[in-house]
Structures are given as C-alpha cells and as structure tokens.
A and B are shown apart, each in its own frame.
Chain A
Amino acid sequence: MGVTVRKFDALIIGAGGAGLRAALQLANAEASVAVVSKVFPTRSHTVAAQGGVNAALANVLPDSWHWHMYDTVKGSDWLGDQDAIEYMCRAAPKVVYELEHFGVPFSRLDNGNIYQRAFGGQSQHFGKEQAARTCAAADRTGHAILHSLYQQNIRAKTHFFDEYFAVDLLKDEEGYVLGALAFEILTGEPIVIEAKTTLLATGGVGQLFRTCTNALINTGDGMSMALRAGIPLQDMEFFQFHPTGIAGRGMLITEGARGEGGYLLNADGERFMERYAPNAKDLASRDVVSRAIYTEVKEGRGCGPEKDYVLLQLTHLGRDKIMQRLPGIRETCITFLGLDPIDHPIPIYPTAHYTMGGIPTNRFGQVVVPVKDTPEDPVPGLYAAGEAACVSVHGANRLGGNSLLDILVFGRAAANHIIDVLEHNRYHRPLHQPAVDAALERFHRWDRKGDGEHVDQLRQELRKVMEAHCGVFRTEEVMAEGVAKVKAIAERVKDAVLRDHSKVFNTARVEAMELENLVDCALATVQSALGRKESRGAHSRIDYPDRDDTHWLKHTLYFKHSDSLDYKPVRTKPMTVESFPPKVRVY
C-alpha cells in the first residue's frame, strides 16, 4: 500500500508562537496551510513564557525602537545581526497591537494603555536610565498569545495535523524543499505532506541537558531535520543557563531568592561564593555563580549521596519573609521535593534555559547556507522561525522579553515572504521519490528487532554528558572529552532497538526519533563550543576568558555530514541607521 500524500501551499512544522503566527498570516492571505504538531498546539512550549514581549510603545517611560535596538545589540555581545535586530525592534509595536487585536488580554494602565514593566538590560538613551518596555498579560503572556493565535487559526481554517511527528524534509536534486515526511502518532502511519514552501518552527533543544527548564518536547526536531538535509546549524555554542535550578528537576529558583538574602552552601557547610566573588558573593553574575556551583561539585564538595548539587539556604530568612516574598519558590519546593524551604535548604544546580543558536536564516525567515563565495544563499522553499532558527537577533545572549518578540516578528516576516513566493509559484514541483524513500527508510529503521540498548537509558546518558562537558564549565579538555563521548553515544544509538513495535500510539517510537534528533544537536553544540576559543555572552571558557573581536566576531556554522565547522561574518550593518560598534559589555 502506498503512502498517503497531501498537498498544501505551505507546511508549518511546529505549533508554538512562531508557527501559529506564520500560519495565521498565510491563512488570512488565502493560502492553504498545514500545521504539523507532535502535541496538541496549545501544549507547545510557548505556553511557559511568563515574562512578556518587548516593544518600544513608551506607555510608561519614554522609549524608542532605536534604544531597544541598542540594548539588543549590546545584550547579544555584538554577535547579533544588526539588520535583523533593527527590523525586529521597528516591527515590535505593530506585532503587539496585532496581538491586542487578536484578543490577547494585555495588562493595562489606568488610562487604558498597555502596561509595560521594566526588565534587566533595558535602557533609555542608549545605555542610560532604566526603560520599561515589556508588555505582559499578567504572568501568563505566552499562554495568552498561544491560545489567541490558535483560536484565530481555527477561524481562518488552518489545517492542523495534531499529534503528527515530522521525520525528515523532502528535497529534490536541485535543492528545493518540497515538504516533509511525517507520521501520525495515533496510527503509526507515515504521510507525505507536499508543500511549495516549508517553515520549521519546532522550538529549542533544552532537553540536551540533564537539568533544564524546558518541557520534554523540546528536542530540537526541526534543527536536526535541517542538519540531515545538509543545512548547517549556527551559533549552537550559545546556550543560556540560569545558576539556580532545582537539582535533578530543572525548574528555576529566581534570583530573587538570593536577592532576599539566600546564600549557597557546599557539603562542608561553607558559603563558597565568598571564595569566588568576595564582594558580590551570592549576587555575582549568573555565569560566575554557575561556574562556582559546577566547580564545587566537580571538586567533591557537592551534597547528597551522589555529591552532585549544592544547597540554597533560606531558612534564616524566617517563615514570614519566605511566605510574603517567596511564596512561589516555597510552593515549587513543597510540590516537587516534598520539602519546605522554611525548614530545609534547597538542592541546586545550574539549569539550561534557552537556545540562542539554530537554523540560519535571513530577516525574511529564509533558511540560508554558504554556497561557494556566498555566505548566505537561500535554500529554495525552506524557512525557519523562532527558537529553532538563528536569525540572529539574540547573538551570544538573549534579553528577557525578546524571545516572544522574535517568534512573532519572524513568524510573520517568513509568512509575508512565503506569500510573495506563492504568487509566483502556482504549481507544486514534482515529488522526488528518492527523498521519500530515504525518509521512509529512516522511519522504518525503528522496526528492527533483536537485542540492543534502550532509548531512555541513552537519552539520560546523553543529557548527563552534555551537562558535564558542555554546560557552564567549558575548557578545551572538558569539551574534547565531550565530543568523544557524544560520538560514542551516537554509535550506540545506531544499534538501539524498541521493545514495543506496535503501531497504535507507540510513543516509544517518537521518543526514539527524538533521541536521534538530540544526538545530532548535541554534537553540533559541543563541536561549536570547542571551536570557539573566546568567551562571549553565554559561551564562557575558563581557558579563553576574554572576548576576542579580532578573531571571533563571526558566526559558527556546524555541518553534520562532514562533522565540521565553518564561519561567516556578523551582519554589522543595520538597515537604515549607523552600526553600533563593539564595546566592553558592562551593566
């Protein structure tokens, strides 16, 4: 029996904010749009974004898109592309007003205007006074955006393939992307979805690390599909970590806990931050605190039976202060650890939070690759947006409130470019059967029976290796060992088997394919990190502690098939204004 084939103008893989924003723009332009999502769309990770979305509306304090641009360039440690950043900051007010129109219930000022809160890294007059730029729908902005966009898409008749898993992109011999092979999780049946244009919007890959804040679904599926299609990943060494996650679980304990007087202890009961940062102590910058925790654990002063975490002490603050100022932290500890921080210290370890790198795109959302002397040649028919993409507006470090903005601006921009392409391309290109056959072969690889290692065990091992060898403590030796270990796991994955080969709702098959995607992204990440011999933004190396603009003001590209790195220049020229040249980044 042949594989079912469906045809659409546009295929969108991933139903978070970027995918749904793009889908809505396309459906409203009368394009036929399919959205493939491995979970029900409103369960995408965008729902977890609480902070808000940045836009220079100047509702609370004076503001301008140009100041927002400066803050974003500075936040990126000058690795962000300044044309894309200018585009995003200029578009921000428009996308926020569009959201308001779609029904997002933004918090309001007494005069009816959208309320804006101040976040770190926001300034007026290019680095001077604090700005207030973040628009929020209480503490559930991501949820409100996702639900509003989903409802709008239902109204616009977007076609949803809910609980379908995308396997691989389909490319023809001329390099055009023709859609993707997916399978329905319910039945286990594969399906070819042909499309004139395909957008990857599958989110980040926080699940690479044992301790992370990301949902289990964040396994870098689109990034890995791109790698297998011969497309490099860009700047994967830049991963945002928070120093204080709940050990073994990942959830954030906000910096507010240390701001209120909490401090860190090792197994000897020592306030070890006094050694690493004698002045700032527990309130030192995130990377310093993260590395100190790692060092304590690595040198055998960790707590617990495995000596693999430190403790955050809050008990001295007293019941009243904890109840009044830190009630959310207390609830989290009681729920997940069964301990009350009024009486017991909290087990802590640095937690992975956000993927700055991803699939390289230009500001139109087109996926771009180096071809001969051209560093950024568009891949025909292929787009990417959101955390899966690297456009690159976050560069080496993302500012709070810019991730929701990124998904909205570039989801919309990609859709606008697709609409233009569709006007000039009325017919589908012929399906390339060898591409379908290759994708099917990969899909059926998991039908293999016999002895072999189990997927779950390998996934846990990979996440431990990445945490130990490509986390917050990075040296040549540590990461070189990490490369060898990830490669060894990749070899073992080739021989892994499923215990259950049934078709209906075989989630083990999904998890196996997620593992393959994680392994691809892991190697891209650790190789890129090993290659970059400087410290910049979130990439912090002990052996190269300084930023080196002479040699490293450039983007990394990692290629899977050759397991090799290449580099391309940062776009330092904005669209209309003067460049912001690199300076020392201090706050």
Chain B
Amino acid sequence: MRRRSFIGICSAALGAQVSARLASARALALTPFNRVALVDAGGASLRVSALSTAQAYIFHYPYRGTPAFLIRLESAAAGGVGPGNAVVAFSAICAHQLSHPSKDFSPITYSAGYSNVAGRAGAIVCCAHHSVYDPAAGARVLSGPAPQALAAIELACEGDCLFATGVRGPDRFDDFFRAFAEDLINEFGRGQARMLAQGNATTILLDRYTQDPLHC
C-alpha cells in the first residue's frame, strides 16, 4: 500500500483524535521526528482497536535501528492515545545499560502478567539488571538501577490508525549507536541504523520479532 493511500484510509476513519496528555508527560521536552505510520508485517495499517493487550509490539523509531515498544494497556495511561487513552510507546533501549530487543534476543520486555522482578503485573522489565518501568506513568522508573525513564515515543491516533511523531524526554540513542555499532551493521546494514525512520514502520508482536524474549 502506498503511504498516501494508507494515510487516506486512516483519515477516513473516526476522525482525528488527539489524546489529552497528563501534565507530567507534557512537561518533558518533545523532539519532533518524522511522522511515521505504524503498519503490520504485511504493510497494512495497524488497527488500534485490534491491538493485543497481552504483550508489546516492536517497531523502530525515530531511527531505523532504534527499537521501540508499542503497548496497549488495560486502562488509561499518562500520555495514552486511542481507545481509552490506553496506547503508549516508549524507546525499548533500557535507560540503564542499553539492553534492548534484537532479532536474536530481548532481555527487556513488557510483562502484561505478573513479573517476579517487578513484583507486579503490567511493567516493562529489563531482566539483565532488573530495571523496572511503569508504562502507565510515562515509563518512570519503579525500581532498579535505571537513572531515568525510558524515552517516550509521541503517538498520534487518527481514526483507527497510529502515527509516531517524535520523542519526549531524555534518550540514549547516541550511546546506543556507539555501543552497538558493529551489531547494528550486522542487523541493518552499514550506515542504515542511524537513518531516520520515514513513511511506514513495521510493527509486530515482540515474540514474533525476537526469537528469545526474556521474562523474569
């Protein structure tokens, strides 16, 4: 599907909806990036109303090589968009020591169910060093060594469609590109990972993106 026609379909749906954001989420600085439509593995528009709440989805934003979580929570979240303001997105690069999902392995996951390390359900947990983030509260740190929240991916929900438009709050992208330079060449090709995402971003369930998601 061409991007133009895709956007057209999305725009024809329920009409533009911009979520009311909580003051705490709004307080963090927004860095605009390309407006990118989230699509499924077949390139069709991702339907917000059909998103699973059982696990996170992965897409790459704001660069082609930087993974992000798309999460539909059971109830409203700070900064949430879509039905019930329950859809959020965050950089999936742990703010502690940069653990992140790759095709082989993901030490950081969203656990809709109970996590031993988090001591609760509904948390983003990095199993490597036990940083725990709350996706319902801007991915603030609940416990563990992370010094800051995960960077939030700004979403816009238009009809039943989702767009990523920017990054809110401090990120670790520069550290990530330096630390994983060779791995990113192997996974994305030389010079590709740092290119800005544009057009569509393929968005798939974590357990279909990675062979080995850890739960802890």
A-B complex is real? no
Binding site for B on A (CB under 8 A): none
Binding site for A on B (CB under 8 A): none
